[in-house]
Amino acid sequence: MARKKPKLIKERVPTIERPAEERVHDFKEVNLGYTFELAVKEAERCLQCPAEYAPCIKGCPVHIDIPGFISKLVEYRDNPDKAVKEALNVIWACNSLPATTGRVCPQEDQCEKNCVMGKVGDKVNIGKLERFVADYAREKGIDDELLFEIVPSIEKKGQSVAIIGAGPAGLTAAGELAKDGYDVTIYEALHEPGGVLMYGIPEFRLPKDIVEKEIDKLRKLGVKILTDHIVGKTVTIEELLQEYDAVFIGSGAGTPRLVRAPGVNLNGIYTANEFLTRVNLMKAYLFPQYDTPVKVGKKVVVIGAGNTAMDAARSARRFGAEVTIAYRRGEEDVSARVEEVAHAKEEGVKFVYFVNPAEFIGDENGNVKAVKFEKMRPLEERDARGKRKIEGTGEYVTLEADTVIIAIGKHPNRLIINTPGLEVDRRGKIVVDENLMTSIPGVFAGGDAIRGEATVILAMGDGRRAAKAIHEYLTKKREEKANA
Ligand code: FAD
Ligand code: SF4
Ligand code: SF4
The widest CA-to-CA distance across the chain, in whole angstroms, is: 75
Are 101 and 144 in the same domain? yes
CA of 454 to the centre of ligand 1 (A): 9
pLDDT grade for 369, boundaries at 50, 70 and 90: very high
Examine the pLDDT at 283 and tell me if it is beyond 80. no
Are 383 and 288 in the same domain? yes
Terminal CA-CA length for the chain: 49
- Structure confidence at residue 286 (pLDDT): 66
Residues with CB under 6 A from ligand 1: 104-105, 164-170, 187-190, 195-196, 200-201, 230-232, 250-252, 254, 276, 307-308, 311, 337, 413, 415-416, 447-449, 453-457, 459
- Structure confidence at residue 268 (pLDDT): 95
For a pLDDT cut of 90, what percent of the chain falls above it?
84
* Domain membership flag for residue 420: yes
* Domain membership flag for residue 268: yes
* Domain membership flag for residue 8: no
CA of 472 to the centre of ligand 2 (A): 27
- Structure confidence at residue 188 (pLDDT): 97
CA of 114 to the centre of ligand 3 (A): 8
Examine the pLDDT at 434 and tell me if it is beyond 60. yes
CA of 79 to the centre of ligand 3 (A): 23
Cα–Cα distance measured from residue 400 to residue 323, given in angstroms and rounded to the nearest whole number? 11
Supply angle C-alpha 271, 274, 279, rounded to 5.
125
Cα–Cα distance measured from residue 401 to residue 403, given in angstroms and rounded to the nearest whole number? 5
Mean pLDDT computed over 372-388: 92
Are 380 and 275 in the same domain? yes
- Structure confidence at residue 290 (pLDDT): 64
Are 142 and 51 in the same domain? yes
* Domain membership flag for residue 206: yes
Beta bridge partners of 390: 378
- Residue 60's φ and ψ, nearest 5 degrees, are -80, 125
Quote helix, strand, coil % in the chain, to nearest 5: 40, 20, 40
- Which alpha helices (H) appear in 93-125, and where do they start and end? 98-104
Are 404 and 263 in the same domain? yes
Q: Cα dist. 283→95, 100, 200, 308, 309 in Å?
A: 29, 20, 12, 17, 19
> Residue 196: helix, strand or coil by DSSP?
helix
Mean pLDDT computed over 33-57: 96
pLDDT in tens, 72-89: 999 999 999 999 999 999
Mean pLDDT computed over 360-382: 96
- Residue 332's φ and ψ, nearest 5 degrees, are -65, -20
Q: Is 207 exposed, middle or buried (0-12, 13-18, 19+ CB in 10 A)?
A: middle
* Domain membership flag for residue 1: no
* Domain membership flag for residue 6: no
For ligand 2, atom 7, name the residue with the nearest CA. Answer: 60
Q: What is the pTM of this model?
A: 0.92
* Domain membership flag for residue 7: no
Q: Cβ(420)–Cβ(232) under 8 Å?
A: no
Cα–Cα distance measured from residue 136 to residue 81, given in angstroms and rounded to the nearest whole number? 8
Domain CATH number, residue 323: 3.50.50.60
Are 165 and 144 in the same domain? no
246-275 burial, b at 16+ Cβ within 10 Å, e below that, comes to bbbbbbbbbbbbebebebeebebbbbbbeb
Total structural domains within the chain: 3
Mean pLDDT computed over 60-82: 97
CA of 159 to the centre of ligand 1 (A): 27
Are 346 and 392 in the same domain? yes
Examine the pLDDT at 238 and tell me if it is beyond 60. yes
Domain CATH number, residue 67: 1.10.1060.10
User: 68: domain range?
Assistant: 16-150
**Listed residues 408, 438, 471: the one ending a domain:** 408
Are 379 and 437 in the same domain? no
- Structure confidence at residue 151 (pLDDT): 75
Q: Which atom of ligand 1 is nearest to the CA of 230?
A: 19
Closest ligand to Cα 448 = 1
Mean pLDDT computed over 257-265: 93
Examine the pLDDT at 300 and tell me if it is beyond 90. yes
pLDDT grade for 7, boundaries at 50, 70 and 90: low
Mean pLDDT computed over 3-10: 70
Are 273 and 364 in the same domain? yes
Q: Which atom of ligand 3 is nearest to the CA of 46?
A: 1
Mean pLDDT computed over 268-281: 91
Determine how β-strand 355-362 pairs with β-strand 368-382.
antiparallel
Are 370 and 282 in the same domain? yes
Closest ligand to Cα 44 = 3
pLDDT grade for 288, boundaries at 50, 70 and 90: low
Cis check: omega of the bond before 288, within 30 degrees of 0? yes
Ligand 2 mutation pick, 56, 64, 114, 458, max ligand atoms within 8 A of CB: 64
CA of 127 to the centre of ligand 2 (A): 6
Q: Cβ(347)–Cβ(375) under 8 Å?
A: no
Lowest-confidence region among 7-11, 288-292, 376-380, 407-411: 288-292
CA of 107 to the centre of ligand 2 (A): 6
* Domain membership flag for residue 210: yes
Mean pLDDT of all residues belonging to the chain: 93
Mean pLDDT computed over 229-252: 96
Are 188 and 326 in the same domain? no
pLDDT grade for 115, boundaries at 50, 70 and 90: very high
Q: Which atom of ligand 2 is nearest to the CA of 95?
A: 5
- Structure confidence at residue 427 (pLDDT): 87
Tell me if 56 CB under 6 Å of ligand 3. Answer: yes
Count the alpha carbons within 13 Å of 85 in the hemisphere toward its beta carbon: 13
**Listed residues 96, 129, 150: the one ending a domain:** 150
Examine the pLDDT at 401 and tell me if it is beyond 80. yes
Q: Is 479 exposed, middle or buried (0-12, 13-18, 19+ CB in 10 A)?
A: exposed
Examine the pLDDT at 150 and tell me if it is beyond 80. no
- Structure confidence at residue 413 (pLDDT): 80
Are 84 and 207 in the same domain? no
**Listed residues 350, 382, 408: the one ending a domain:** 408
| SS3 readout for 122-163 | CCCCHHHHHHHHHHHHHHHCHHHHHHHHHHHHCCCCCCEEEE
Look at residues 339, 270, 411 and name the one whose alpha carbon lies nearest to residue 105. 339
Q: Which atom of ligand 1 is nearest to the CA of 454?
A: 45
Residues with CB under 6 A from ligand 2: 60, 62, 64, 66, 95, 101-102, 105, 107, 110-111, 126-127, 130, 457
- Structure confidence at residue 410 (pLDDT): 86
